[in-house]
Structure formats: C-alpha cells, structure tokens
Structure 1
Amino acid sequence: MFGKIVNYKKENSKLIINFEKKIGIIDVINPHVINIFSPLKYEKHFSRAIETLEYEECEINFQSFDTYLELSTNALIIKIYDDFKVDFYDSNKQLLCEDYRDEREPFIRRGDSYLFEQEGHKSEEVSSSHKIEIIKKMYNDEKFYGLGEKTGHLNKKGYEYTMWNTDDASPHVESHKTLYKSIPFFITLRKNTSFGIFFDNTFKTYFDMGKENSNYYYFGADDGNLDYYFIAGPEFNKVVSRYTSLTGTTPLPQMWTLGHQQSRYTYDSKERLLEIADNFREKDIPCDVLHLDIDYMDDFKVFTWDEKKFPSPKEITKELSNNGFKVVTIIDPGVKKARGYSMYDEGLKNGFFATDKDGVTYINKVWPGDSAFPDFSDTLVRDWWADKQKLMIDSGVSGIWNDMNEPASFNGPLPDDVQFKNDGRPTDHREVHNVYGHLMSKATFNGIKKYTAKRPFVITRACYAGSQKYSTAWTGDNQSSWEHLRMAVPMLLNLGISGMAFVGTDVGGFISDCTPELLSRWVQIGCFSPLFRNHSAVVTRDQEPWSFDDTTSNIYRKYVKLRYKLIPYLYDLMKECESNGLPAMRPLVLHYTDDKNVHELNDEFLFGESILVAPILEQGKNFRAVYLPDGYWIDYWTGEIIKGQNHILKKAELDTCPIYIKKGSIIPNYPELNYIGEKEVDTLTLDIYPGNGNYTHYQDDGSSYNYKNGEFNLYKFTMTKNEDTIIKIEIPHKNYEEFYMNFKIKINDKNTNNILFNGEILSYDKTASGIEFIIPAVEGQIKF
C-alpha cells in the first residue's frame, strides 16, 4: 500500500516520510503518546474527538538505519519500516506492539452454508477487506479492554466488533457487533505492561481482536485517514488518563445529577407526574429527578409541550421543584415536517437540515412521522440548536435527554448518500453517522451552559470518543432479564475506561416485565452506577419500587438511601475523574494489574479505590464466590476483616449486596436526605476503617462553575497506624464560604477506647461496629 521509504524530513515533533506511493507521518504528542497518520482522504487531521491537541515539549531522538528509521523519547522507541510498518518498544527495548508482516488469513470454514441457513441459522460471515487496515501481531498473552459499549465479557480477546451507531430493538446478546455508541479505543494488557490504541476515524470501523486468526488482531475502516494514537503505560490507569487527556475528561457534574432518578415511557400527564413525585416522598424513597419521555410534546414536535396533558409547564416544574424534584425532558433530533411549526420553518429557511445528493431536504420517519434531520456537523446548526435549549430552560427543565440520535429512523439507517456540510468539508452520512449524536450533545451542552451558567446535564444514547466532555450516557434499550443484568457490569466498566465515566443502565430493564427479585438485585448495581436511573417501556408493568411487594420496596429503599449516604464520596470521585479521567466504577484490573485473578473478573468492580462491590447476578442465588485483591478488606455489613488475594464464599440473601471496604479507607458520608440540597449539611460524617491511608475530600456549591475560580474547599485526612492510630486533618484550600462546622467520626474498630483530639480527651458513643464522636471541622490530629 505504501511501498519503500524514499526519503524523509523532520519538522519539530514530526517525522514526515515519503514512501513510493504515499506519505506517512509519525508525530510525538508527548513521550508516551505517538500519532500515526497518513492523509489517505484528507490532507490534515479533522478530529471530532480531540478538540485541542496539546503537545508536551520533550526530547526526541532520531536515527536512520539500513532497513528502518527510529524515533525515541524517554518512554518509547518507534521503528518505522517500508510499507509504513511501525513497531513500538518501551525504553528498555522490550517489544510492546508490532505490525504484522503477512497477509490476513482467516480461519478455514468448511462446508456449504446453504442448508444450514435454510433451517434459519445465520452463517458466520467471512470478514471482508477494508480500505484501511492496521494489522498487529498477536503474542497470545494479550488481553483487550475498552471499545466502549459492547456486549460480552470484560476481556474482548477472540471477538470482533463494528463501530456503527445502531438502534437495535432486539435483545442484545454477546454476538452483537454494534450498539448505540462508537468508541474506537482499546487497551492491551501484556506481561508487565499496558498500552492503548485510539483509532480516530468516524467512518464505519472494524475491530477484530483475534477472532479471524489467533496470530494477529486488526482494526480498519471503510474510508478516511489512517490516524491512530499509540498510548503507552506501562500502568493500566495511566493509559486511561492519557487517552482522556487527548479526548477530554468528564467534567464535574452538578451534584443533584448523582441522585436517584425515575423515568418511564411514559408519564403522560401532569397528574401522573405529580402522583409519582408524591409517592416517592410519602414512601420515604429518596429521588432527585423525574424524566419525561416523548408524550409530553405536542404531536411529538421537539421543543414543544402538550398543553392539554401538561398545562402551564413552568408551574408544573416549579411545583415539583418545591418538592425537591428536577425535571429532565427527552429531545430527539427528528424535526416534524409541518409548515407553520417554527423549528421546521426555520430549519428549512436557513438550510439547517441534512439533504439528499440533489440538495433537497432529506425526510425520513420517526415519532412525529415525516421528519427532517438537523445537520449537526455544521457550526451554525449547532448554535441554532443550542439556542433552542432556552425554550426548555425557560419552562423550568433542568436537563435534556437526547435519544434516537444514532441517528435512528423507522426506516433503518439513513442512506449513505445523505449530505452534510461538515464545517466546511462537505461529506456524506458515512462519515457523519458515528458523530451525529456526539455533535447533538455538544450543541445541547453549549446551549444549557449559555442559558443557565450551570454545569449542563445532558444524557445521550449515541456517542463517539470524546462525548464524555458533553454528556452522560445510558446503555440504551436493555431488557428486563438476568442476562442483561449480568452484561451490565462489564459493559459499564469498559465504557468507563473508554472515557465515558458518567454512565448507567436502565435499572430494572427497559423492555419486558421486571420481576421483584430482578429489581432487587438491579438496584444494588444502580446504587454504584454514576447514572442511577430506573426506566421502563410503555405497556410493561409498572416498575416504580412501590409497584412491587413490601420486601422489594424495602430493599430498593435500602440501596437508594445507601447511594445518598455515599454522595460525597461519589462527588469526590467525579472530581477526580475531571482531573485524571479515571471513572468512579472501575474494573479491578485498573488498580491490580499484576494480579492475574482480576484480568477476567466480569462480576465485581471497584467504586473508587476504597470500595469493592460483588453483586449477585443470577436468579435464585443467595451466595457467591468473591475474589478480594491484595490488602485487607472489611465486610461492610458484618465488619469481618478478610485478608486479600483470596477467594471467599459470601452468603448474600436478597437484601444483601456483598460490599467490602479496603483497610485504611476513609469514606465521607452524608446524613439521610430525600433529595440533594434538602438541607444544609454542616456536619460531614467520616466512616473510618483503621489502617494506613489518606483521603482528600472536595467541597463546592455543587452546581456552578465558581470552583474554576478557586471557590472550593479541600479537606485532607492522613491516617497512620502503628501502636496508635493517628489521623492528621489538614485544610489546604478553603475558599468556599459554606464550609463544614463539624466532623462526625465513626471508627470501625470495637477495641478503640481512648480518643484524643489535639491533645484533649474526648467522650464518645459506642456503636455496633466501634465508636463515634463529633469534633469541630478544623485542622488537627485525632489519636486513638
């Protein structure tokens, strides 16, 4: 494809190589991140994921040898050969990643598929060749993670996937190659090292992780440029941080968005919506957000209200606000084709809609019937759409839920030849499809930010790499089935390490009828999912927690209350995520990479570094094997201390989700709340598990961008355990006026007796797990 190296030149961080047939460019972004680029379609980069490519000045060495060229940084050695074959080594000359030198050779598939297919079976497709293909040698010690929202196990080795945002209403199973999101990024774990590859190409892309042949894995695309980033570790978590430094980290959300949320397709009237709100308060189940699906609109026209079902929307949202509820409304991209409807008239007049190849507005069917599709690839259209958010904000809506934005239609995917302006680089649907939802989210985010000055809350179904900068996401139309509950854990974990950190599933499942047992187990995962929303479909049974028996309601209430107790801990994790890209919900391999027992662990996860969750994912099961990694772990429910690197058998009745706290942890807790902001929290509870450790707690106003100007507080706790345990309290930053007045200290150790704070003896109360006492929220030292 490229031919032999003819000549080369160096330009700053770039090595530009002229091959016989094409040009190849190696660009050193920083010592750990290298871009491999060839302008096969466009002369320059045009990334929708990377908005600002920030270079780090570093030492770059170059050498020319008889058969290859070599670039090196203090972390990597890159060797470039004829035909633009590129191999990566670490600084110790250990080979990390090597281009495959032979042709693809799919496994042999024997026999005639005709009769097999006549019975209704689907034959395994033989992978076709692609315009762009990057084939990497397999060493057979690899494990692959990431690739965003994909079904199946945590480790993707031996499977193949396609990146093409797809609205598929059939039950999602492990054989699904496409779903709603396209995130062409994966992490490879080998021996003592990890690295990532981000293939920044918005056309339909393909990832075969050794399914076609165990000698290699490959990724490819139908069109576009050869454009990928090699991201070195060697630490697994550093790969995630470096990837999100390219594509953007998840911004700190408003605190209320981390609360419990309730939705249904559909709450179709003011009366029904207020009834749901009243039930939450009367039944003592905390909730912050109610969602409205498509039936709140006038004839499914976006940015409208059905005034018969929802008269005076502003008064409704105000009444709900007085009861502690925010309202989030769904908005789809399809604009109803109807003269006299302002959205359609404005879009048509200004040429804001995608067109067919003859320049005529393209029409397809979605919920409103015949509809036009805004061309979100154009800045003017995104600005127009952003301004429309004011219509919803003025009616009291607090967030926007973007759906059907793959884009989906009732007639299948949009045709390939639908035309888009693409910010001055006209193209067709093949290039825009995978970023359509991404760009819609960007427009929505910018509009909410413009008209509220608060951190926007946007939920999206479809996204691309980098969408985490603008939106949270849910995993789409799942099923009320145990298989989908099981699948939720590795799917959310892979989304998190693929940059989409603020994610969740529809708790209880969207399609079909949820059972009491299934909801009881699902809420135990929802409790630890950053986006915590119960959602169900039209004509399914009611799925609000009180719609089941008392046992189910009590279990649901228990885990929602636990979520609110952990809100300050989760908020700290989201602040950390904004800084380093690490998600709140983490696979154990992220922190215990050297432990082979966690490499394929699909049914456990970490909530931050301090909490390990091992949910029950099978019907009728009341026990499970739990693997605890290195260290000592404390059973959250019983206080039992267990040595790590050990499998245990845990009894877990229906109301028990196995939860373990790492020794040396300090977990901030809130008091009981019906909703976030219900009352001022002037006393922060510190749930302490004595050992060696440290923790930094973050506090701000929970909604504005004032923290960007330094308006926040930091509380640092350092715990050391020798003969005595000492907790040093520091407040290194105090510039937010509503600081804590007190700390309530809970020490989970029944042998604790004498307590000193700043040298003075304190009285305390005994509890089932240890002792508790209150001190002023000032700097000092606790000794016990």
Structure 2
Amino acid sequence: MNLRFSDSKGGFELRFGAHVVLRHSVQCPSVVIAKGDPQVAMYRGNFRIDDAPSGRIAPTEWRADGADMLLLDAGEPAVRLRLDGDALVVDALRGGYDRITTRFHAEPDEAVWGGGEQMSYLMLAGRRFPIWTSEPGVGRDKSTELTRIMDADGMAGGDYWNSNYPQPTFLTSRWLAVHLDNFGYSVLDFSDPAAHCVDYWGAQARFEFFAAEGPREIVGQLSARFGRQPALPDWAIGGAIVGLKSGTSSFDRLERFVDAGAAISGLWCEDWAGIRETSFGRRLFWDWTGGARSEQRYPDLRARIAALNARGIRFLAYANPYLAVDGTLYEQAKAEGHFCLRQDSDEVYLVDFGEFDCGVVDFTRPETRDWFADHILGREMLDIGIDGWMADFGEYLPTDVRLADGSDPMEAHNRWPVLWAEVNAQALASRGKTGDALFFMRAGFSGVQAHCPLLWAGDQCVDFTRHDGIGTVITGALSAGLVGNAYSHSDCGGYTSLHGNVRTEELMQRWCELAAFAPVMRSHEGNRPDDNLQYDSTPELLACFARWSRVHAHLAPYVLHLSNEAQDKGLPAQRPLFLHYPDNRGLFTVQDQYLYGADLLVAPVIEQGVEARHVILPGEGPWRHCWTGEDFAGGIHDIPAPVGMPPVFYRPDSAFAPLFGEMAEVLNR
C-alpha cells in the first residue's frame, strides 16, 4: 500500500508514495464538516444550486485509532480518516453532518488540470468548479449581452464552469491525481494556492490517488481506472459524416457533397423520427420509432439505408432518454413502468424541454434498461440498418423525482449519463455491433469512459466567442482526454443560433480546418438551419468541406495508430502540449493548439478576422509546415494563417512523415 499516515511538525501528513497529499495541523485543519441546507432549482436542464451550511466544525486535534486517524472537536471524534488500499475515506461522525470539505496539500505554483470536460479553462488553478452535469449555457460569459439575455430566459446563460460532462478528478504538475469516487454534488476549489479543496455533499467521501513519473503515465493510469473505449470503427475515421435534416431531400443533398469530391463515410439525419417546430428552432420529435412520423419524413428508410451501405456510406440517427407525451411510445412506457415518478404520487414525472413535455426513462430499473436497449435502440434503430446515433442529453434528471431503486436523485443525477451510456453500449453488444456501430454523447461523469466510444463537445454558439464559440471544442477535448476519454469531436459549423447570432462563411471555413484534425469529422445544420449558412449553401463552402474531408480521410492510417495507442496506453488522440513536453512549464496553460498524437501539431485559427497567429513548437524541432514544407526550430513563431491554410506541423522523423507530406496535395486536389 502506497498510502500512509506519518507524523509531521505540529500535526500529521498523509503520503502517497513520495508525495504529501494531505497535511493536518492545529493551525490548518485538513477537514471541515457542516450541515447542509440546499436549494436546487432546475429549468430545462439549467440548474441553480445554493446552500446555507450551518454548525461548521473544523476539528484541530487528532489521535490515531488503529490504522485510522480521528479528528477531534472538543475532545470528541468528529471526523474519521480511514485508509482503504490506495484510497482515503473521510467520514463525518456527527449526526446530520452531510457537508465535507477536504483540503489536499498544494505546492507553490502547482499546475492543476482535469475536472472532466471543461470548456473555458484547461488549467484549473485559481478557480472553483462545481461538479454537476447540466446544460453548459448559451454565451457562458456574464459580461456579454447574449449571456444576460439567456440568464433572464430560464437561467440559461451559463458560466465558465458549466459543463455537460464534469468529473471530480484532478491531476497536478507533481504528476499526482486525486479522484473523488462519489456521484453526489461536489466542488473542486483551486482558488487557494496553498490547498486543493474538494467540497462534497454527503456524509462520506472516498478519494483515490494515482502517481507516476510523468503526465503520459498518469493519464494512462486514469484511463485504465475508468475504462478504455473500444477502437473507433474504420468507417468513422475514413471520411466525413454529413449532418442533414431536411427529410427525404437529405439524400439528394448528400449527392452534392459526393459530386464535389468529398470523402463521405456517413449520412447523419437526426430528424429520422420526425420534427417539431418551436421558438428555439427546429427540434426533433422525441419518439424513437420508425413509425408514421418517420415514414412520412423518410419514406422507405430501410431501403434507402441499404442503398447507402452498398456505396460504403453508413446511416446515422438520433435518440435521447426521454419520450414525448404525444408520441406513440409514451403510453407503452407508462403502462410498463419505465418512467421516473413524482415523489407525492404514482404519476409520471414530466419535464418541460421547451414547449413540449416528456417522461424521463428510469434507468435505475433493470427491466427498463433492457427495454430501451432492445426495443428502441435495437429493434427500431439497429435492426433497420442504422449504424450510429447521437445519444443526446442525460443531464436533466430532476432532483425531486422518485426512482425505482429508491436512490436519492441528488446522488443519481450525476450518475445518469453513465447509466445512459451503459444502455447504449448494451444495445450495440446485443447486436454484435460493438466496435462497428457508433454512438456519441455530450453528457458524462466518472465511468462513462468504459461505455461511450466517442464524445462530442455539445452545443457551441455559431461564433468565435471566448467561452462558447469554436475554440471551446479544443479545451473540451484536451481536458476530457486527461481523464480517460480518448476520442472527441464537435458539430462542424457550430450549433446554437439565437438572438441574431448566425453563422458566417469565415466561421464555417475555420471549423472545417479544425474538424479535419479530430478523430471524427461531422457536420451539423444547427438549431435554426433555415436561418444559417450550410455547407451546401454555396459552391465555395461545399468545396471547402470537400477539401478538408479528404484531408481527414487521408489521415485515417494515423488515426488508427492513435486508436491503438489509446487501447494500449490510454492516451487521447488530441493532447495538450505538456503531455509530451512536461519540463516546459510555459506549456501548462496552452489550450488554443494541441498535439494530434505525438507527431502532428495543430494550431487552428479560432479568432475572427485573423490571418496569422503565434504558434508554439515544443522541443528543439524541427517541425515541418504541412502546406509549405518549410522546417522550423522549436520555439514561438508568427505563422501566416489565411483561410485554407491553418498552421499544422509534423515531425519529419515520424514514421508517418510520408503520409503527412502528402496532405497538401490531397487538400488541393
């Protein structure tokens, strides 16, 4: 066992191997407990969570109790610190105390990363991050007018820490990682430079520790802990997935992409089960069946899917874990007991998703998981030839529902995305489709990695804004990759268009340049497709998408190599620069460029109107410019970056250098 208590001057320490992870003294108690008084409000997946804790106890004295350590208040035990292998269990011993704050030791200027998929900041030091899966918000910047408008409209503006996929795991530049092995509400607080604080809402918190010689090894350990994804299907990395949602005309529009010379691996029609028009925009009809609405919008869908398959093109669809009250599946699900219920009656708990109500499918019930996996994802989708889907949502579980297994919804809320991922993975396994069919999710929490083969970055605004625009997909991929998610991608072109915010040609072009250097390249028409440019709106945009889809397809052998690395070592495809260059502290905060594997460096243009940018080339070099062939030494360089030529570099000594050297020809073919 690497974890042990030891005496220190004026107190005691908890050490993990050579690392001090916790230090307790009279002057600085390591644990504080209190009684919580929470207030939780939810509106359409946006949460306001407040607390008014009372009876705060910061026990200063201590005594050993066998292998445990007791923290005393007025001579009586208040907290027990118990070692469980390489984990620390913190128990609040006073009745009614259900708030635990644990202060972990921090070294001066220690860098901190993690927190799940964080969209605004890769480096977490200096800030607090509530860990609660939710809608991330629109705008996510309290200084902007859009965020203020959305806050006034259903608490929907968001902030820097809001995330579909948070996770109570952090790793530091001591190459140490700490994971809170609980699902309840928590806060990672790095605002005090002397301590890494974790607030947990519960009477017991369990912390796991990991340590290694460097960042790649610690990331590999975390990947092994949470579960490694199956390799991506060859078809998913061998071309672009075109997202169209105009009913049967989507098939005709797909031919424009083919004729333009695009490398196409899939057609994604999220409207396969029907549509619903709302004030937010064009929404889907949440009734996951190939019934009358599907037949009306996509006649003879099974035959059309087969025809695409004969051309090497897969068909993808959409599903989420809710059923609309006016759909055909709702009554069946209600009759068979598949929904979460109200706490005060046996009525179905309905959630307003924006001008329509839905029942929440209760995945704590084994029979319900089986029904959804087999009846909906299996019979209605996989069995008609659908080879993939967006497994949307998972963040909306209200905190006042009644669940079949009797669990506390405050604890079950963060567990919900993991259950949703398990159901999707179960469906693939039931049809022998694991590693062939593909679903992708935005919601997540600890353990989703073992089941979800691919993340997508959620609903970015169709702009270049700092906290909700194109650049956030880089930060999201890098942060999620550090805690065991090997594969991430985004809606190419962005998604959220509200209050006059619409796509520009420049944004569409720049997003293609970014999307080509992700494991999966997939376009999206957005929430208001009729108000926005699409990739088939103009010949120029169509040609742009086609060019970068060919680059993406050309890199498939390299992405397969990265997939093998993910399986063997747990390394993500998209990596922060410090992962391979940990001795350079100047790289610890870099989040606007990334290593694609060890041998490609991608520095996308994510600012409007920019035609050159600073690029950090780590190490000594040389790094070769993919489009000009010019070699650069390591360091910071000003690189021209006109539209169509984003800064991308490769290592000339890479085994894949011949492949990389052909990219310019492929792009301009």
TM-score by length of 1: 0.67
Q: Write the mapping of 1:571-586 to structure 2, written as runs, cut at 5 A.
A: 571-586=560-575
Which residue number corresponds to residue 393 of structure 1? 382
Residue 570 (structure 1) shift: 0.4
Confirm or deny: 8 A CA contact 2:13 2:21 kept in the other structure: no
Q: Helix, strand or coil: the match of 2:506? A: helix
Which residue number corresponds to residue 480 of structure 2? 495
Which residue number corresponds to residue 696 of structure 1? none
Which residue number corresponds to residue 403 of structure 2? 420
Residue 238 (structure 1) shift: 0.9
Q: Deviations over 1:234-285 (max 9, x none)?
A: 3111111111111101211211122312225xx1421x21122111111111
Confirm or deny: 8 A CA contact 2:184 2:201 kept in the other structure: yes
Confirm or deny: 8 A CA contact 2:257 2:546 kept in the other structure: no
Query: How many residues align structurally?
Result: 565
Q: Helix, strand or coil: the match of 1:147? A: strand
Q: Show structure 2 runs of 5+ residues with no match.
A: 33-48, 57-97, 143-158, 276-284
Residue 500 (structure 1) shift: 1.9
Which residue number corresponds to residue 629 of structure 2? 639
In the superposition, relative to structure 1, how do residues 355 and 591 fare at CA in structure 2: closer, same or farther (>3 Å)?
same
Q: Write the mapping of 1:204-603 to structure 2, written as runs, cut at 5 A.
A: 204-210=185-191, 213-223=192-202, 225-258=204-237, 259-264=239-244, 267-270=245-248, 272-294=249-271, 296-297=273-274, 300-305=286-291, 306=293, 307-337=295-325, 341=328, 343-358=329-344, 360=346, 361-366=348-353, 369-388=356-375, 389-390=377-378, 391-407=380-396, 414=398, 416-422=399-405, 426-455=406-435, 456-471=437-452, 472-483=454-465, 484-512=469-497, 513-540=502-529, 541-548=531-538, 550=540, 552-603=541-592
Q: Deviations over 1:653-673 (max 9, x none)?
A: 1111111111310118xxxxx
The one-letter code of the counterpart of 1:462 is A
Q: Helix, strand or coil: the match of 1:316? A: helix
Confirm or deny: 8 A CA contact 1:314 1:394 kept in the other structure: no
Determine the C-alpha separation between the residues in 1 that align with 2:310 and 2:534.
22
Task: Determine whether 1:687 maps to 2:664.
Answer: no
Confirm or deny: 8 A CA contact 1:535 1:543 kept in the other structure: no
Q: Helix, strand or coil: the match of 1:421? A: coil
CA RMSD, aligned part only?
A: 3.2
Determine the C-alpha separation between the residues in 1 that align with 2:340 and 2:134.
19
Confirm or deny: 8 A CA contact 1:285 1:560 kept in the other structure: yes
Confirm or deny: 8 A CA contact 1:145 1:186 kept in the other structure: yes
Of 577, 596, 606, which residue of structure 2 is paired with 1:607? 596
Residue 377 (structure 1) shift: 2.1
Determine the C-alpha separation between the residues in 1 that align with 2:185 and 2:586.
35
Confirm or deny: 8 A CA contact 1:197 1:231 kept in the other structure: yes
Determine the C-alpha separation between the residues in 2 that align with 1:372 and 1:224.
31
Confirm or deny: 8 A CA contact 1:250 1:581 kept in the other structure: no
Q: Which of the two has higher C-alpha Rg?
A: 1
The one-letter code of the counterpart of 2:656 is I
Which residue number corresponds to residue 756 of structure 1? none
Moved more, 124-133 or 284-293: 124-133
Of 646, 654, 662, which residue of structure 2 is paired with 1:665? 654
Q: Show structure 1 runs of 5+ residues with no match.
A: 1-27, 35-70, 72-77, 107-123, 408-412, 669-685, 690-745, 749-766, 769-784
Confirm or deny: 8 A CA contact 1:334 1:366 kept in the other structure: no
In the superposition, relative to structure 1, how do residues 350 and 83 fare at CA in structure 2: closer, same or farther (>3 Å)?
farther
Q: Helix, strand or coil: the match of 2:262? A: coil
Q: Deviations over 1:481-523 (max 9, x none)?
A: 1121222222211011122222112122101222111121111
In the superposition, relative to structure 1, how do residues 325 and 86 fare at CA in structure 2: closer, same or farther (>3 Å)?
farther
Determine the C-alpha separation between the residues in 2 that align with 1:445 and 1:83.
52
In the superposition, relative to structure 1, how do residues 132 and 378 fare at CA in structure 2: closer, same or farther (>3 Å)?
farther
Task: Determine whether 1:102 maps to 2:81.
Answer: no
Q: Deviations over 1:184-241 (max 9, x none)?
A: 211111xxx311111121111111112xx33323112212631111110231111111
Confirm or deny: 8 A CA contact 2:458 2:490 kept in the other structure: yes
Which residue number corresponds to residue 680 of structure 1? none
The one-letter code of the counterpart of 1:687 is L
Confirm or deny: 8 A CA contact 1:634 1:642 kept in the other structure: yes
Determine the C-alpha separation between the residues in 1 that align with 2:588 and 2:274.
47
Task: Determine whether 1:172 maps to 2:149.
Answer: no
Q: Helix, strand or coil: the match of 1:206? A: strand
Determine the C-alpha separation between the residues in 2 that align with 1:301 and 1:224.
40
> Percent of aligned positions with the same letter in both sequences?
21
Residue 176 (structure 1) shift: 2.8
Which residue number corresponds to residue 721 of structure 1? none
The one-letter code of the counterpart of 2:315 is V
Q: Deviations over 1:532-566 (max 9, x none)?
A: 2211323344443232452x444333222111110
In the superposition, relative to structure 1, how do residues 202 and 105 fare at CA in structure 2: closer, same or farther (>3 Å)?
closer
Choose between structure 1 and 2 for higher RCO, CA contacts under 8 A separated by at least 6 residues.
Answer: 2
In the superposition, relative to structure 1, how do residues 103 and 665 fare at CA in structure 2: closer, same or farther (>3 Å)?
same
Residue 151 (structure 1) shift: 2.8
Confirm or deny: 8 A CA contact 1:584 1:607 kept in the other structure: yes
In the superposition, relative to structure 1, how do residues 345 and 518 fare at CA in structure 2: closer, same or farther (>3 Å)?
closer
Q: Deviations over 1:290-334 (max 9, x none)?
A: 222246338531233422112222112122223432121111211
Which residue number corresponds to residue 46 of structure 1? none
In the superposition, relative to structure 1, how do residues 623 and 353 fare at CA in structure 2: closer, same or farther (>3 Å)?
same
Confirm or deny: 8 A CA contact 2:340 2:401 kept in the other structure: yes
Determine the C-alpha separation between the residues in 1 that align with 2:210 and 2:198.
16
The one-letter code of the counterpart of 1:285 is A
Q: Helix, strand or coil: the match of 2:567? A: helix
Which residue number corresponds to residue 179 of structure 2? 198
Determine the C-alpha separation between the residues in 2 that align with 1:81 and 1:226.
24
Q: Write the mapping of 1:25-174 to structure 2, written as runs, cut at 5 A.
A: 28=1, 71=4, 79=6, 87-91=14-18, 95=20, 98=23, 102=28, 131-173=99-141
Determine the C-alpha separation between the residues in 1 that align with 2:494 and 2:216.
31
Which residue number corresponds to residue 186 of structure 1? 170
